[in-house]
Amino acid sequence: MSKALFLALSLIASPAWADWQLNMNEGVTALSREIFDLHMLIFWICVAIGVVVFGVMFYSIFKHRKSKGAVAEHWHENTTVEVIWTVVPFVILIGMAVPATATLIDMYDTSEADVDIQITGYQWKWRYQYLDEDIDFFSNLSTPREEIVNASAKNANYLLEVDNPLVIPANKKVRFLITANDVIHSWWVPHFAVKKDAIPGFINESWVNVEEPGVYRGQCTELCGKDHGFMPVVVEVKSEADYAKWVADQKAMKLAMAGEASKEFSMDDLIAKGEGVYNTACAGCHQLNGQGIPGAFPAISGSTIATGAIDAHIDIIVNGKAGTAMQAFKEQLSAVDIAAVVTYQRNALGNSVGDMVQPSAIQK
Amino acid sequence: MQESVKTKRLVVRLATAAVLMFGFGFALVPLYEVFCDITGLNGKNFTQGPAAITAVDRSRTVKVQFVTVNPAEMPWEFKPTERTMRVFPGEDKVTAFYAKNPTPEWMVAQAVPSVTPSEAAQYLHKVNCFCFDRQPLDAGADTEMPLVFVVDPELPKHITTITLSYALYDLTETDNQQVTLRSQDNDKGRASL
Amino acid sequence: MATVDVDLPHVKDEDPHHHGPAKGVGRWLFTTNHKDIGSMYLIFSLCMFMIGGIMALIIRAELFQPGLQLVEPNFFNQMTTMHGLIMVFGAVMPAFVGLANWMIPMQIGAPDMALPRMNNWSFWILPFAFLILLSSLFMPGGAPNFGWTFYAPLSTTYAPESVTFFIFGVHIMGASSIMGAINIIATILNMRAPGMTLMKMPLFVWTWLITAFLLIAVMPVLAGVVTMMLMDIHFGTSFFNAAGGGDPVLFQHVFWFFGHPEVYIMILPAFGIVSEIIPTFARKRLFGYSSMVYAVASIALLSFVVWAHHMFTVGMPLVGEVFFMFATMLIAVPTGVKVFNWIATMFRGSMTFETPMLFAIAFVVLFTIGGFSGLMLAIAPADFQYHDTYFVVAHFHYVLVPGAIFSIMAATYYWLPKWTGHQLNETMGKFHFWLSFVGVNVTFFPMHFVGLAGMPRRIPDYALQFADFNSMASVGAFIFGFSQLVFIYNIIQNVRVGEKATAQVWEGANGLEWTIPSPAPYHTFSTPPKVD
């Protein structure tokens, strides 16, 4: 009945999008390959033990059954055999422990890194700060809300794409300093075999040396609230030359953005830009249509704040509201973005206040 | 009724064991602190005050990095004035952290330190640190908060980089409530529970 | 509340002071009889299993396809949290306690438990605790949504209002477990029939004796950690809050100090059950009785020093990781010994495959598979790739579902004829077994794959490459879920009118419980039997 319905729905609804991946990825670092090899070693040892043990068991199930006329023998002890099957597993374990310890020691490498990046977990996004450059940005899920609520088809990188990926150079030791802003998160990139908990108030470190440029995707791996499944990790590994160029571009962009903050924008431009900001940074709680979730997240449509005094509206976005889930966005959004999203909220989502705010009016 | 006396005794012992284990759960809290303190595990370090170090080891330098975190709802600007320093183990170094209170209210903050790698924690001595005390700032005011530290020459050779992070917490509300207790506080060390 | 009326005839000859059961609701509210209390625990557990199961089906229905179709992420987190809490504390643990209540006195030749009135209290506070917990679903902010492992500060600073009721409920469940454990130890140590030395006790009794000591050691630590949470939330302390000098990792240490022995609490009685059933249906004595006892004791002892293998990614120093890796790997040795001994019991026996034996054999195979994934998880460097992924979900569901749950079902098929005097329908039993076996494997085996491929735990929606195995797992979950209706139907239908059972019930069964009539009289062994 309902099972058949589900099966039917799956046949109708799902295109052939998925893999049937059975195993861990080998990854793109020397360490990830070491870990993969260790994983396979242990796995095959377990398979071998399983084959022997279950083999004996299934043999017995077939041969020693009453219906085949088997008569029970009457022994129930054998010290020699018991000693053997205590010692042999112990020896196998030592055989496993040696490579495992070696790999673990390799993971705890503390040699100096070429690049140090502070990674801070927030509900529900990551912040990347390059310690030796003046680069600081947030990385949000960029999958459109419509795809999540099944209003449009899902793209290939569904839930594993962000607006601003972390960018690191290949073939350099990159060190990550991992912490959190609110609750415990965990930063994981399977292809790097790097996973480390982000603990509020404490700093953890990890490192990677990626051999191949490319884009690598991971996710938050510690339950951190509502959108734990919606804060992916995307790392773009660039060649040394491309990375240097990217760093220079970031600095230029920052100068440009500072310049933008003193420009005057038209209402239409603000609203258009604001819609993008809203969908990335606000729709997760306040919903795409601005209706919020009654009892949990207030609506923007018709709200006192979004239709009332503009200063209060700006303030709640810049500084958040203490004691609630409404975060302070002053670090996460530029003055241009804040001006845009305020203008959008006041002139869309069912509101039509008619006013707008310029970036220069945003005090952070 | 031998049996029921035996049973009663056993039950009392088992119930006592249960109560003791409840106490043990709570004892794990200071035990954890002591264990972390002795071993420096978990990056907690409480070694503070003047360190009795005499010699400076000029055969190697250690990179010391400073990282700052503003936890949720802490609106202050907070950043190190120097991101990285290269120091000789045994040498006293001074640096400062910039903090600004952009709000229209007087506020009080507490910085909580954390060190990585955790083995290095017991070798990073804070001679004087703004994290020893709560830091008040008037509305709109800013300040530079000093840190005097020394890396112990006993630091294992394989550690070449130490990162010290500060998380800055807003304690204005609790501080207001505890205004009368503050004078009794030992201002050294981390904030009291 | 009991829809199944367990029919226990009036005792004729044993003791003129004993009466049959009282009548009406009062019988159940005030009973101090271990058989009644055992039945109540078992029925309660079955109800909670269904409720927890429905939550699992809600989870699997949402995960059937990528995208959010059925529930909001916050409600999904409530479902995963409540599913875990209900299954652990409401289904598995009470079922084992119910089996202990029914069987331990009979197996040791005792007339009842050592503290019959405390026994009643131990049971009745449980429905009260779960009423509180379940009602939190309807509170503003919803039910607990921070995982059954409730890490701080998600479960303190960021928790919904219901967290206080959750803490209250946990305290009550803990009290129930501790009282039950005290009762079990006192019964086993002081009330065995003359001649029944410790090394002559059935293995089910041994595993429960050891489990009870584990409960007394760690349930109070759980009470401690939720009390610390309560203090952080309501009384301004900072056990787990860095702002006040506390540490979220401290929470994890204290929780898992309880949590790891807890999972052995949930499996040792299963080992005992399987150690009773296999000898019966192989018609051959359990191989290596003393090693089996020592193995259980070693597992219990080791369980205290492995807790941080749940925390390999938390930022522990190398020394810590290495210690916990080695200690965890070591548990494979006594566990392996047990598996080998069960197989050696079967070997050159004379086996028949009635439903209890089917569940017991499936336990040995599938629990061992869960053990293998456990061994893989113990390897700390590899664990960085497994931790908090579906690989872990696969591991613990293998040891808990075809592990603990199958052993409980095996025990039910095995002992229910003794409890009620009626056999369950064997064909329906086999049908239930095969459906469950297929369901359980189709549900949980693919989780190994998606976990290895990179799917994290506790997410309501996932990237496209995980879709195929997820829809498979969801189909399996519905198969498994609906097949339990066969089990329930079998019980309800046959408890009163099924084929009559003899005292012996099963040809190869040995033990004191098989020397008394089926159904077992309301009061048994008022005069202790002679054991040689």
Q: Hey, where are the domains in chain C? A: 34-233+246-515
A102, pLDDT greater than 90: yes
In a shared domain, residues B24 and B95: no
Give me the helix-helix angle, A79-107 and C318-330, nearest 10°: 160
Q: How confident is the model at residue B192 (pLDDT cuts 50, 70, 90)?
A: very low
* List of chain A residues whose C-beta atoms are within 8 Å of the C-beta of residue B67: 118, 131, 177, 179, 203
- Cβ within 8 Å of residue C382, ≥6 positions away: A35, A38, A39, A42, A100, C376
What average pLDDT does this structure show over C361-390?
A: 98
Burial class (CB in 10 A: 0-12, 13-18, 19+), A317: buried
Q: C117 is written with which tokens?
A: 């009135």
* Cβ-based contacts of A205 with chain C (< 8 Å): 315
Is the pLDDT at B48 greater than 80, yes or no? no
Please tell me if residue B85 touches chain A, with a CB cutoff of 8 Å.
Answer: no
What would the mean pLDDT of B44-50 be, rounded to a whole number?
Answer: 52
For B103-138, write each residue's pLDDT tens digit: 889 999 999 999 999 889 889 999 999 998 899 999
Query: Using only C-alpha atoms, what is the Rg of chain B?
Result: 22
- Asked if the model's pLDDT at residue B50 lies above 80, the reply is no
Of A112, A204, A319, the CB nearest to B161: A112
Same-domain status, A327 and A356: yes
CA distance A208 to A211: 10
A68 touches chain C (CB under 8 A): no
Task: Provide CB contacts within 8 A for A87, sequence distance 6+.
Answer: none
Sheet arrangement for strand B135-137: B84-87, B62-69, B161-170, B107-116, B135-137
> What pairs with residue B87 in β-bridges?
B62
C247 CA to centre of own chain: 31
Give, in order, the Cα–Cα distances in Å from A349 to each of A267, A274, A288, A307, A346.
15, 12, 8, 11, 8
Domain stop point among A229, A258, A287: A258
Chains near A, with 3+ CB pairs < 8 A? B, C
Banded pLDDT at A293 (limits 50, 70, 90): confident
What average pLDDT does range C316-341 have in this prediction? Answer: 96
Q: Which residues of C are catalytic?
A: 83, 112, 148, 176-177, 260, 262, 264, 275, 309-310, 335, 338, 457
Partner B contacted by A179 (CB < 8 A): yes
Q: Is B163 on the interface with C (CB under 8 A)?
A: no
Q: Same structural domain for residues A354 and A310?
A: yes
Which range is least confidently modeled, A197-211, A248-262, B60-74, C206-220? A248-262
**How confident is residue B181, by pLDDT bands cut at 50, 70 and 90?**
very low
- pLDDT at position C504: 94
Q: Which residues of A touch B42 (CB under 8 A)?
A: 202
- Place B44 in a pLDDT band, splitting at 50, 70 and 90: low
Closest-approach residue (CA) in chain C for A57: C343
Nearest CB to C220; choose among B25, B32, B190: B25
CB contact under 8 A, B158 and A110: yes
Claim to verify: residue B17 and residue B95 sit in the same structural domain: no
| Residue B32 and residue B53 in one domain | no
pLDDT of residue B185: 33
Domain-ending residue, one of A232, A258, A284: A258
Integer Cα distance of A301 and A294 in angstroms: 12
Q: Is A149 within the bounds of a domain? A: yes
C-alpha–C-alpha distance, residues C376 and C398, integer Å: 14
User: Is residue B135 in some structural domain?
Assistant: yes
Distance separating alpha carbons of residues C442 and A45, to the nearest angstrom:
24
Partner C, chain A 90-129, Cβ-Cβ below 8 Å: 90, 93, 96-97, 100-101, 103-105, 107-108
Distance CA B35, CA C51 (A): 43
C-alpha neighbours within 13 Å on the C-beta side of residue C328: 27
Q: How far is A188 from chain C (nearest CA, A)?
A: 8
Which residues in chain A touch residue B113, judged by CB atoms under 8 angstroms apart? none
What is the extent of the structural domain holding A55?
30-61+79-107
Same domain, B85 and B126: yes
B119 touching C (Cβ < 8 Å): yes
Closest CA to C316 of A292, A113, A206: A206
Question: Is the same domain home to A120 and A196?
Answer: yes
Cβ-based contacts of A188 with chain C (< 8 Å)? 388, 456
Determine the distance in angstroms separating the CA of B22 from the nearest CA of chain A, rounded to an integer.
26
Indicate if B95 and B172 belong to the same structural domain. Answer: yes
* Distance (Å, whole) CA C320 – CA C73: 35
Q: Do B93 and B24 share a structural domain?
A: no
For chain B positions 3-32, those within 8 Å of chain A (CB to CB) are none
Sign of CA dihedral C531, C339, C149, C448: negative
pLDDT digits 0-9 by tens, B13-43: 999 999 999 999 999 888 888 877 776 565 5
3-state secondary structure of A135: strand
Bridging pattern class, strands A174-180 and A115-122? parallel
Shared domain for A221 and A168, answered yes or no, is yes
Q: Cβ of A76 and C329 within 8 Å?
A: no
Tens digit of each residue's pLDDT (9 = 90 or more) over A7-39 = 555 544 444 445 789 999 999 999 999 999 999
Can you tell me the mean pLDDT for C110-136? 97
Residue A173 clears pLDDT 70, i.e. is over it: yes
Average pLDDT over residues B78-106: 94
Claim to verify: residue A129 and residue A205 sit in the same structural domain: yes
Domain that holds residue B50: 43-178
- Residue from the list A6, A57, A74 with its beta carbon closest to the beta carbon of C64: A6
User: Cβ neighbours of residue C110 under 8 Å, at least 6 residues apart?
Assistant: C104, C187, C191, C192, C193, C525, C528
> Which residues of chain C from 209 to 228 reach within 8 Å of chain B, CB to CB?
216-225, 227-228
Q: Do A100 and C242 lie within an 8 Å CB cutoff?
A: no
The answer to whether residue A12 is domain-embedded is no
* CATH code: domain of residue B58: 2.60.370.10
Q: Is residue A298 located within the same domain as residue A187?
A: no
Give the residue-averaged pLDDT of B62-86.
93
Instruction: State the average pLDDT over residues A93-111.
Output: 95
Q: Is residue A68 part of a domain?
A: no
List, for residues A336-356, the tens digit of each pLDDT value.
Answer: 999 999 999 999 999 999 999
Claim to verify: residue B92 and residue B35 sit in the same structural domain: no
Q: Do B117 and B157 fall within a single domain?
A: yes
The residue of chain C nearest to residue B74, with distances taken between CA atoms, is C243
The minimal CB distance from B69 to the residues A108, A123, A179 is found for A179
Q: Does C190 touch chain B (CB under 8 A)?
A: yes
Query: pTM, whole model, 2 decimals?
Result: 0.92
Q: Does C181 or A292 have the greater pLDDT score?
A: C181
Residue B36 is predicted with a pLDDT of: 74
Q: How many CA atoms lie within 13 A of B109 on its CB side?
A: 30
CA distance A323 to B16: 42
* Residues A199 and A302 both lie in one domain: no
How many CA atoms within 13 Å lie on the side-chain side of C360?
32
Regarding whether A211 and A132 lie in a shared domain, the answer is yes
Separation of alpha carbons A364 and B76, rounded Å: 11
ipTM: 0.93
Number of domains forming the structure of chain A: 3
Q: Is A229 found in the same domain as A122?
A: yes
Residue numbers in A near B83 (CB within 8 A): 131-132
Between CA A100 and CA C323 the distance in angstroms is 12
Same domain, B100 and B174: yes
Q: Per the omega criterion (within 30 degrees of 0), is the bond before B50 cis?
A: no
**What's the mean per-residue pLDDT of chain A?**
92
Structure tokens at A245: 């160029």
Computed from CA positions of residues A120, A122, A124, A129, in that sequence, does the dihedral angle turn out positive or negative? Answer: negative
Q: How confident is the model at residue C118 (pLDDT cuts 50, 70, 90)?
A: very high
Instruction: Enter the CATH code of domain C34-233+246-515.
Output: 1.20.210.10
Same domain, B23 and B105: no
pLDDT at residue A324, rounded to an integer = 82
Q: Are residues B76 and B105 both part of a single domain?
A: yes
Give the domain-ending residue among A258, A281, A296.
A258
Task: Find, in chain C, the residue whose alpha carbon is nearest to that of B109.
Answer: C243
Interfacial B residues in 51-110 facing C (CB < 8 Å) = 71, 110
